[in-house]
Amino acid sequence: AKTPVRVAVTGAAGQIAYSLLFRIANGDLLGKDTPVILQLLDLPQALNAVNGVVMEIDDCAFPLLAGVVITDDPEVAFKDADIAILVGARPRSKGMERADLLAANAAIFKVQGAALNKAASRDVKVLVVGNPANTNAYIAMKSAPDLPAKNFTAMLRLDHNRALSQLAAKAGVAVSSLEKLAVWGNHSPTMYADYRATTANGESIKAKINDEAWNRDTFLPTVGKRGAAIIEARGLSSAASAANAAIDHVRDWVLGTNGGWVSMGVPSDGSYGVPEGIIFGVPATCENGEYTVVKGIELDEFSKERFKITLDELLSEAEGVADLLK
């Protein structure tokens, strides 16, 4: 039998976790032959709720579930973790300034980065979902100097999947036929979903759609503001689709993409003019548990403009937390 994989999830009492944990325990993350141990972190006042979720997990009698840890101590949650999905974050409350939001989250991700540094497997794969996801991942990475920087990633996959769905509907093709989509930059409305290289059954989607006004005025705003549209309609933020994207991100990173492109927020190696270390959404392929950024994509004038907007936003977030990292 395989040794169980230790999967830490933070924000375990929250709504994304409620869609995520059951799927991990069911084998959707790592395959139906890999047992998992869930290591769940939340704040002290939320542990009772985590207990309730775990009662339900127990009641599913998942064959692959080899254990559950419940804790409010990040070092316990991350002990020997092979995978850490950091969902818990401080939401923006009414009247809260962006700087305060950044600072509140910086404090959380500094502690969690240090705990990962101390306790996790040296190969731990970290996915930050909690917003501002890219900058939170950046802070965790900077707070974990003994772990390879490349282990820290942020979730752009929900934007990627949202874009795939919009493109498939517009072009009248199956979503499963789409290849080579790239989502660049920050997980925020400034992200740039770039379908210039995208194909369906080998045919160019850009040529098939052939509508630059739709790209600029409909597609990009729809994908960028999708989170807000869901809050408006549902009264709650995206949760099941966010959990699904987290599963896609980690599963592909671990099990590979067979040459296919996925979008991941990863620490820049300096390519595409993004300063080293900034966690930037890029197209990547995954193989043998490692991701490789797709290189050599030319940026046209429009793409350069969009690229700059999202990069500038990330640079200003990094600047906003610089003092807290000293």
Q: Flag whether 320 is marked binding.
A: no
Three-class secondary structure of residue 143 per DSSP: coil
162 is in an annotated binding site: yes
Q: With binding defined as CB under 6 A, does residue 53 bind ligand NAI?
A: no
Amino acid at 208: K
Check whether 16 is labelled as a binding-site residue.
Answer: yes
Question: Contacting ligand NAI (CB under 6 A), which of 7, 9, 11, 224?
Answer: 11
Q: Are 74 and 41 spatial neighbours (Cβ–Cβ below 8 Å)?
A: yes
Q: Which of 160, 170, 187, 251 is catalytic?
A: 187
Minimum distance, C-beta of residue 227 to ligand NAI, in the bound complex (Å): 6
158 binds ligand NAI (CB under 6 A): yes
Both structure tokens of 8: 């830490």
Tokens matching residue 229: 């549209």
15 part of the interface to ligand NAI, by CB under 6 A:
yes
- Shortest distance in whole angstroms from residue 267 CB to ligand NAI: 16
* Local structure of 37: helix, strand or coil: strand
Task: Please identify, among the stretches 60-68, 130-138, 144-152, 201-209, the one whose residues bind ligand NAI according to the rule CB under 6 A.
Answer: 130-138
Q: Could you tell me if 38 and 9 are in contact, meaning their C-beta atoms sit under 8 angstroms apart? A: yes
Query: What distances in angstroms separate CA 193 from CA 69, 181, 286, 306, one per listed residue?
Result: 38, 7, 20, 9
Q: Which stretch binds ligand NAI (CB under 6 A): 6-14, 93-101, 139-147, 194-202?
A: 6-14
Asked about 249 being catalytic, the answer comes back as no
For ligand NAI, the binding residues in 235-274 under the rule CB under 6 A are 237-239, 242
Judged by CB under 6 A, does residue 205 bind ligand NAI? no
* Closer by beta carbon to ligand NAI, 29 or else 108: 108
Let me know: does 85 contact 9? Beta carbons within 8 Å: yes
* Residue 201, marked binder: no
Count of residues touching ligand NAI (by CB under 6 A): 28
Under rule CB under 6 A, residue 135 binds ligand NAI: no
**DSSP bridge pairs for 184:** 192
How far apart are the C-alpha atoms of 80 and 216, rounded to whole Å? 45
For residues 212 and 214, what is the distance between their CA atoms, to the nearest angstrom? 5
Other CB atoms within a 10 A radius of the CB of residue 124 amount to 22
| 213 class by beta-carbon count within 10 Å (0-12 exposed, 13-18 middle, 19+ buried) | exposed
List the catalytic residues. Answer: 187
Q: List the binding residues for NAD(+).
A: 11-17, 42, 105, 112, 129-131
Binding site for ligand NAI (CB under 6 A): 10-11, 13-17, 41-43, 46, 87-91, 108, 129-131, 133, 155, 158, 187, 237-239, 242
